[in-house]
C-alpha cells in the first residue's frame, strides 16, 4: 500500500488523474469506477482534459436497488453526468438497479467482470470502512451481491436524497473478491468524517468489520488522502 497525503480533494483528484494517465499509457483498457462525492474532482480533471476514453470499457462498483438512469439519484445518472456524457467510452457497465430477477442479475454482472478483467480500479471509502457497498462483516471472497445497507450508510448517503426515508435500503455491489482481482487500485478519502475508516484501512488489523483493511494485503494499492482524513494516523 502506498499512501499519498495531499492538501485537499482538488490536489488529490490531480494525483489520481496522473495515476490514471500512467495506467492508460501502460495499456489499461478496462477501468473500474466509483461514484460518490470522493471521485468528483478526479472525474472533473478527466472531463477538462484532452484524454480520449473511446477505447475503454468501464465497470462500476454499485447501484441502488430500485433505481436506474432515469432517476437523478442513481449511480448510472451520476456517471453520465460526471464522466460518460462528456467523455464517451466504448462500453460502460453500471449494475441495473431495476433488474427483475436480482439473483440472476448478480451472476450476469459477475460474468461481465470475468469477461472484462479490471486493469485499474478507483475506490471511495464509506465512513464505516465500506468499499463499493461491501458493508462491515462482508466475506472477503464474495462476488457481486445484493446488500442490505447499514443504518450508518443510509444516514451518510441521505444527503443526496430529499429525506432519509427515500434512500433505498438495498444495493447491488461488486464484491470484495472481484475488487481485489483488479490489477491496480486507487483509493481516495477526504474529510474528518473518513479519519476513523482511513486509520482502520491503513493501520488497523485486517478484519471483515472494516472491509477496506483487506487492501493492506495488496501491493498495487495507492491511497490518496487529505489532511483531515489522515488526521488519526499515528505511523
Ligand atoms: C457510497 C458508495 C461508495 C462510496 C462511498 C463514499 O456508499 N457506495 O462507492 O465510495 O459511499 O461516498 P462519498 O464519496 O460520497 O463519501
In a domain, 82, yes or no: yes
pLDDT at 235: 83
Angle 98-62-181 (CA atoms, 0-180°, nearest 5)? 135
In a domain, 235, yes or no: no
Dihedral sign, CA of 191, 153, 43, 140? positive
In a domain, 211, yes or no: yes
Could you tell me if residue 222 is left (phi over 0), alpha (psi between -120 and 50 degrees) or otherwise beta?
beta
Q: Note the Cα 121 to chain centre separation in Å.
A: 8
CATH of residue 37's domain is: 3.40.50.1360
Point out the catalytic residue in the list 96, 119, 130, 134. 130
- What residues are paired with 222 via a beta bridge? 2, 186
Q: In the annotation, is 130 catalytic?
A: yes
Q: Which three cell numbers stand for residue 57?
A: 470499457
In a domain, 135, yes or no: yes
Q: Is 94 exposed, middle or buried (0-12, 13-18, 19+ CB in 10 A)?
A: buried
Cα 215 to Cα 12, 101, 204, distances in angstroms: 19, 31, 11
Point out the catalytic residue in the list 135, 145, 157, 226. 135
In a domain, 231, yes or no: no
Q: In the annotation, is 128 catalytic?
A: yes
What is the domain range of residue 150? 2-171+178-226
Tell me, in angstroms, the distance from the centre of ligand 1 to residue 149's CA. 12
Question: In a structure prediction context, what are the per-residue pLDDT tens digits for the chain, which is 235 residues long?
Answer: 999 999 999 999 999 999 999 999 999 999 999 999 999 999 999 999 999 999 999 999 999 999 999 999 999 999 999 999 999 999 999 999 999 999 999 999 999 999 999 999 999 999 999 999 999 999 999 999 999 999 999 999 999 999 999 999 999 999 999 999 999 999 999 999 999 999 999 999 999 999 999 999 999 999 999 999 999 999 8
Q: Which residue puts its alpha carbon closest to atom 10 of ligand 1?
A: 124
Number of Cβ within 10 Å of residue 85's Cβ equals 10
Q: Which three cell numbers stand for residue 10?
A: 482538488
Tell me, in angstroms, the distance from the centre of ligand 1 to residue 145's CA. 17
Cβ of 9 closer than 6 Å to ligand 1, yes or no, is no
pLDDT at 134: 96
In a domain, 80, yes or no: yes
Q: In the annotation, is 62 catalytic?
A: yes
In a domain, 27, yes or no: yes
Q: How many domains does the chain have?
A: 1
In a domain, 119, yes or no: yes
Amino acid at each position: 500500500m502506498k499512501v499519498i497525503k495531499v492538501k485537499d480533494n482538488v490536489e488529490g483528484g490531480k494525483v489520481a488523474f496522473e495515476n490514471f494517465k500512467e495506467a492508460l499509457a501502460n495499456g489499461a483498457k478496462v477501468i473500474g469506477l466509483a461514484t460518490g462525492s470522493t471521485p468528483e474532482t478526479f472525474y472533473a480533471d478527466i472531463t477538462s482534459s484532452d484524454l480520449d476514453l473511446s477505447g475503454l470499457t468501464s465497470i462500476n462498483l454499485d447501484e441502488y436497488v430500485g433505481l436506474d438512469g432515469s432517476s437523478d439519484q442513481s449511480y448510472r445518472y451520476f456517471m453520465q453526468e460526471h464522466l460518460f456524457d462528456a467523455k464517451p467510452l466504448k462500453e460502460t457497465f453500471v449494475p441495473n438497479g431495476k433488474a427483475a430477477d436480482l439473483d440472476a442479475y448478480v451472476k450476469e454482472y459477475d460474468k461481465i467482470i470475468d469477461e472484462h478483467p479490471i486493469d485499474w480500479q478507483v475506490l471511495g471509502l464509506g465512513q464505516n470502512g465500506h468499499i463499493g457497498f461491501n458493508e462491515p462483516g462482508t466475506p472477503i471472497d464474495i462476488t457481486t451481491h445484493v446488500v442490505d445497507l447499514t443504518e450508518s450508510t443510509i444516514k451518510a448517503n441521505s444527503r443526496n436524497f430529499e429525506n432519509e426515508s427515500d434512500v433505498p435500503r438495498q444495493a447491488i455491489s461488486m464484491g470484495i473478491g472481484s475488487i481485489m482481482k483488479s490489477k491496480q487500485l486507487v483509493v481516495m478519502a477526504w474529510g474528518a468524517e473518513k479519519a476513523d475508516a482511513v486509520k482502520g484501512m491503513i493501520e488497523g488489523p485486517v478484519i471483515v468489520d472494516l472491509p477496506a483493511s483487506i487492501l493492506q494485503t495488496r501491493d498495487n494499492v495507492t491511497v490518496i488522502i487529505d489532511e483531515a482524513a489522515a488526521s488519526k494516523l499515528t505511523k
